[in-house]
């Protein structure tokens, strides 16, 4: 046990936010395979020193570097769970997490054994299910430390929570945003699942049920609210059921910085039909909204389908079967009484012997790749890990060919990885790539502008995912570096200007310019990219110059999609390279749209906040 006494400063600890037992499942993708002799040497060295040399493949979106990293120093942060308010043992939260992870790992290994053994069902005791439930909640909650504004009372997105956060910190003598996060982590870890749920139920009833609580939350969270963490935990448990999904044969799931507890899908504009958690390359644990239970039949009606927006809603998923040890459901006059009886039973010791039978769902290739698409689109400049280079290539190709608006920016940071995983030389079949044929037959620096050549060259190595190679890597790495450095200099785009919500604002650049306009363009944009130092070696020949110019085209695409006003400011007034948004008519129309979108954005933030709290609750209860 790590302790701190007197003036002795405790040693720093590298503390993981993705458990090592999950990361070890992804060791297969050795970029440079170790020999059997080296593996044995590493094993004995690890036993001797206590430090493992096991590694995993990690692609860092911020640096565009693919490398093997030691599991012991990957997906973690120094002292993130350190609790300075407990000087007797500042690492007690890390120890509690390790205990929970060990319990969850045992249950997850049993799930893996059942699936690998070809069983069509998996049985869990209630206490095992409760452990997994808590583990999955913690896995999502851990992500909050990566969002500095998550518990910031001054953040505009937290306007409904502002007074509550302030009062909560004062009541518990907490310092800063991290204090609130650590308090919640401590509470969840140290409180049994059924006790947290019981507290959430009591708080629900205290405010007169869900409807009245919703009204309170719409007007602003009560500053005297007793335990927001318990309510959040309860609402997630109450509104979702656990599902086990298996990757399609030959396909695998990926894992990354923000891969746990990601929301997917929405109903009537409210997000949260799924919470995704990858626990191995072939197994994902998914918390699925009760609205998607087969018994509800949401997708069987036209209105239900129209109100549902999801890539994964059509994955056939059965609810687990409950076998109660001593609870006998009866007919009650009201649903409230039936619910109260079940809640009372769950608090008894007899309920610990309840069993749940799960029926894992085998995903299709497209569904597996759609699952990965969600994860890859939300890495947020972090890292991603995979166990199979071939499966990763397939998912990347699926991602890069998708036309979904909200994933477009992520493509800029993932394209270099596809090039790194592709063969050094790719056999090109000209007839299969008309753009390539057009480029090769028209390429003549003296006949077309430098802009036209660079535009065609960029799209040749961007649009055709089957011909990605080392040239692709060079172009897309320079493009990504320029974007990353520029993002650090520019303010974040207002959501109302982003195609993520409004496709009409997705601006495109023209495919051709005259030689005179081409010169104006590169004189204006190249100096910006030059300052960013994205090509450290510098162009040495005509081919290098063409690659560099192609990267500038990619960078300009990103500016047009995300910062069109800034791009306009960079260019001379006489030069227009962006298409107008569809439906663009007059300045008055623009103003009306902007006001409307601002109002929409405000209500969207409220809906998102409420969705996180209420998770689309229904009448079903699994744990």
Distance CA 413, CA 430 (A): 28
Q: Please list, in sequence order, all residues whose beta carbon lies within 8 angstroms of the beta carbon of residue 146, skipping any fewer than 6 positions away.
A: 17, 257, 258
Q: Give the pLDDT of residue 280.
A: 97
Q: Please list, in sequence order, all residues whose beta carbon lies within 8 angstroms of the beta carbon of residue 89, skipping any fewer than 6 positions away.
A: 1, 2, 3, 4, 95
**Angle separating helix axes 126-142 and 176-190, nearest 10 degrees:** 170
Between vectors from CA 505 to CA 475 and to CA 157, what angle results, nearest 5°?
A: 100
- Per-residue pLDDT at 297 exceeds 80: yes
Q: Indicate the range of 138-152, 374-388, 524-538 predicted with least confidence.
A: 138-152
Q: Give the pLDDT of residue 584.
A: 46
Q: What percent of the chain has pLDDT over 90?
A: 59
Q: What percent of the chain has pLDDT over 70?
A: 80
238-262 pLDDT, tens digit each: 999 999 999 999 999 999 998 899 9
The average pLDDT across 178-199 equals 94
Print burial letters for 129-153: b (CB count within 10 Å at least 16), e (below 16). bbbbbbbbbbbbbbbbbeeeebbbb
Q: Indicate the range of 23-32, 348-357, 544-553 predicted with least confidence.
A: 23-32
The average pLDDT across 92-106 equals 97
Q: How far is CA 252 from CA 347, 394, 465, in A?
A: 39, 10, 19
Give me the helices (H) in 533-576, please: 542-562, 564-570
Q: Give the pLDDT of residue 28.
A: 72
């Amino acid at each position: 046990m790590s302790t701190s006494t007197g003036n002795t400063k405790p040693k720093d600890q590298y503390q993981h936010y993705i458990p090592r037992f999950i990361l070890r499942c992804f060791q297969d993708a050795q970029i440079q395979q170790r020999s059997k002799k080296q593996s044995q040497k590493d094993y004995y060295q690890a036993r001797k020193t206590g430090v493992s040399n096991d590694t995993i493949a990690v692609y860092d979106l911020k640096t565009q570097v693919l490398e093997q990293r030691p599991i012991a120093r990957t997906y973690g942060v120094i002292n993130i769970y350190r609790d300075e308010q407990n000087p007797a043992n500042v690492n007690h939260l890390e120890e509690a997490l390790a205990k929970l992870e060990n319990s969850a790992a045992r249950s997850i290994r049993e799930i893996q054994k059942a699936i690998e053994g070809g069983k069509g069902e998996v049985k869990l005791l209630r206490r095992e299910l409760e452990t997994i439930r808590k583990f999955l909640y913690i896995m999502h909650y851990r992500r909050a430390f990566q969002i500095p504004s998550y518990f910031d009372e001054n953040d505009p997105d937290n306007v409904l929570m502002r007074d509550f956060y302030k009062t909560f910190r004062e009541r518990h003598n907490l310092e800063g945003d991290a204090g609130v996060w650590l308090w919640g982590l401590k509470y969840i870890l140290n409180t049994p699942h059924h006790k947290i749920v019981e507290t959430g139920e009591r708080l629900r009833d205290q405010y007169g049920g869900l409807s009245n609580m919703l009204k309170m939350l719409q007007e602003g969270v009560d500053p005297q609210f007793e335990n927001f963490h318990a309510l959040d935990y309860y609402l997630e448990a109450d509104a979702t059921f656990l599902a086990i999904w298996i990757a399609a044969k030959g396909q695998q799931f990926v894992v990354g910085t923000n891969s746990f507890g990601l929301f997917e899908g929405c109903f009537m504009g409210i997000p949260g039909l799924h919470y995704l958690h990858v626990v191995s390359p072939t197994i994902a644990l998914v918390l699925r909204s009760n609205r998607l239970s087969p018994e509800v039949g949401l997708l069987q009606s036209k209105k239900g389908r129209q109100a549902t927006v999801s890539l994964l809603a059509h994955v056939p998923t059965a609810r687990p079967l409950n076998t109660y040890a001593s609870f006998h459901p009866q007919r009650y006059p009201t649903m409230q009484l039936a619910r109260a009886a079940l809640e009372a039973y769950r608090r008894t010791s007899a309920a610990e012997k309840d069993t749940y039978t799960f029926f894992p769902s085998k995903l299709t290739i497209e569904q597996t790749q759609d699952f990965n698409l969600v994860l890859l689109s939300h890495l947020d400049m972090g890292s991603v890990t995979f166990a199979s280079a071939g499966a990763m290539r397939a998912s990347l190709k699926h991602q890069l060919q998708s036309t979904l608006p909200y994933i477009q920016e992520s493509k800029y940071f993932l394209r270099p990885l596809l090039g790194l995983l592709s063969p050094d030389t790719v056999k090109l079949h000209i007839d299969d790539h008309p753009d390539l044929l057009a480029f090769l037959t028209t390429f003549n620096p003296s006949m077309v502008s430098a802009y036209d050549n660079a535009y065609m060259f960029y799209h040749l190595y961007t649009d055709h995912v089957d011909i990605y190679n080392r040239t692709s890597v060079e172009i897309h790495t320079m493009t990504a570096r320029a974007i990353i450095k520029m993002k650090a200099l520019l303010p974040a785009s207002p959501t109302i200007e982003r195609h993520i919500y409004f496709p009409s604002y997705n601006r495109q650049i023209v495919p051709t310019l005259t030689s005179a306009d081409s010169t104006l363009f590169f004189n204006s944009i190249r100096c910006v990219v030059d300052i960013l130092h994205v090509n450290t070696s510098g162009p040495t020949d005509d081919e290098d110059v063409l690659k560099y110019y192609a990267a500038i085209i990619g960078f300009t695409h990103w500016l047009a999609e995300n910062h069109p006003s800034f791009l306009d400011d960079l260019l001379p007034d006489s030069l227009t390279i962006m298409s107008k948004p569809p439906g663009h008519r007059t300045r008055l129309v623009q103003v009306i749209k902007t006001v409307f979108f601002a109002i929409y954005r405000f209500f969207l933030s409220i809906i998102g906040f409420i969705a996180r709290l209420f998770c689309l609750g229904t009448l079903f209860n699994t744990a």
